[in-house]
Amino acid sequence: MAQPLRDRVWFVGVATVCRILFAATFIVSGSLKAVDPWGTILILENYLVAYNVALPEWLTLVASLLLCGLELAIGLLLLLKVQTRVASFVALVTMLFFTIITLLSATVVPVEDCGCFGEAIKLTPWQTFAKNLVLLPMAACLWYRHRIERLFDGAPSKVATLWVTLLLSFGLGIYCYRHLPLIDFLPYKVGVNIAEQMRCELSQSHTERVVLVYRNRTTGELRDFAVEDTEWQNDALWEWVDTRTESVDNGHTATILEFQIADEEGNDVTTEILALPKVYLLLCESVDIDAEVEEKFDAVERYVAENGGEVIRITANQPSPSWYSMDAKTMKTLLRAKYGLVVLEQGSITAKYNFCDIPY
C-alpha cells in the first residue's frame, strides 16, 4: 500500500518549513496589531465604509480584539505544535477569507491600507494580496498534514499551553486598548517635536526643480529640459527662451502636517499652542463626557493651576465654548484612546496617557 502523501519524508519537511514560516508571519502580524487595537478599529471602519456596512461601535471593538488575538494565538499554537489540527483549519479559513478580501480591496472595492502589519509596515492592496497568495498554499499544506490528528489534545501540558497562549494573545490587545500601545509606531511618539516635524515633512513633500525652456531653431518647437540634460547644450539646434522653477510633489504622505487645532470660532491656533512653554491637551471624541472622565480632567486642571502651564480641552470637529477642535482622524493618530491627555513642552510631546492612567 502506497504511503500517504502527508507521511512522506519530503512532504513532512515541506510542512515543517511552512509551519514555521506561517507561524512567524502570524505572530509578527498579530503582535503588531495587538499592541495597537485602536489602529485595527480604524482599519475595520475603513472596510465597513467601503462595503457600506454599519456596525455598533462596541461590535467593531470586539471584532478588533478578536482579530488581533486570534491571529497571534494561531501563530503561537502552530509554532508550539499545540492543537495543530484546529489551528491549521482556522488558519486555512482565515487565509481564504482575507485573500478574497484583499483581492477585492485591490480591484473593485478599494481600501487603501489593509493594516495587516498594523502601523509598523505599510503594504499596498496588491502587495497584501501577493503576500496572501504565498501564505494560502502554506495554510493548505498545514491543514492537509495535520487534519487526521486528534481534534483536541487533552494532555495537561497541551491544555495548559493552550490557555496560556489564549490569555497572552487576547490579554495583550485588551491591555493596550485599556491603556496605550506598548510600542508606538505612529508619528506622534513621546519625544517628537511637532513643529520641527512639520517643517521636515513640508520639505520632504515638496521640492523645487529648475526647468530650462529652449526653442528648436529649425522647427520653432518649445521644449522643457532639466538642468542635468545635455541636449539643450547644442547651440546650433536649441535657443534659450526662459528658465523657471517648479514645485515637485514627492508623493510623501504627510501626517504631522495634518496636525491642526482650531478655537471655537474656527481660527487656526496651532502655532500659538505649539509655542507655549507647557500645555496639557485634554482629548475626547465628544464634549459629552461621563463623570469619571470629567473627574480626571478636573484633576488635571487643578494640578496645572498649582504647578503652572496651560490646559486646553480638544474634541473632534465639535467647537463649542471652552473647547477647541481637531480632526477626528488626527486625534486618534495623536492618542490611541477615546479620552486622554497629551503633554507638550514648546511643541515637544513629553507624555501621553489614556484617561484611566492620568497621574494627577
The pLDDT tens digits of the residues spanning 253-306 come to 557 778 899 988 888 899 999 999 999 999 998 888 888 999 999 999 999 999
CATH of domain 259-357: 3.40.30.10
Among left, alpha and beta (phi > 0; psi -120 to 50; other), residue 55 is beta
Predicted structure pTM score: 0.79
Q: State the number of CA atoms in the 13 A half-sphere of 135 facing the CB.
A: 28
Q: Which residue has the cell 502587495?
A: 127
Q: Which residue has the cell 514648546?
A: 346
Sort strands 310-316 and 279-284 into parallel, antiparallel or unpaired.
parallel
CA-closest candidate to residue 113, choices 46, 62, 51: 46
The pLDDT tens digits of the residues spanning 198-251 come to 887 766 655 677 888 899 988 889 999 988 888 888 888 998 888 888 766 555
Q: How far apart are CA 45 and CA 108, in angstroms?
A: 18
Domain boundaries of the chain, sorted by first residue: 5-178, 206-249, 259-357
Q: How far apart are CA 128 and CA 105, in angstroms?
A: 10
CA-closest candidate to residue 159, choices 84, 78, 87, 82: 82
| pLDDT score at 111 | 84
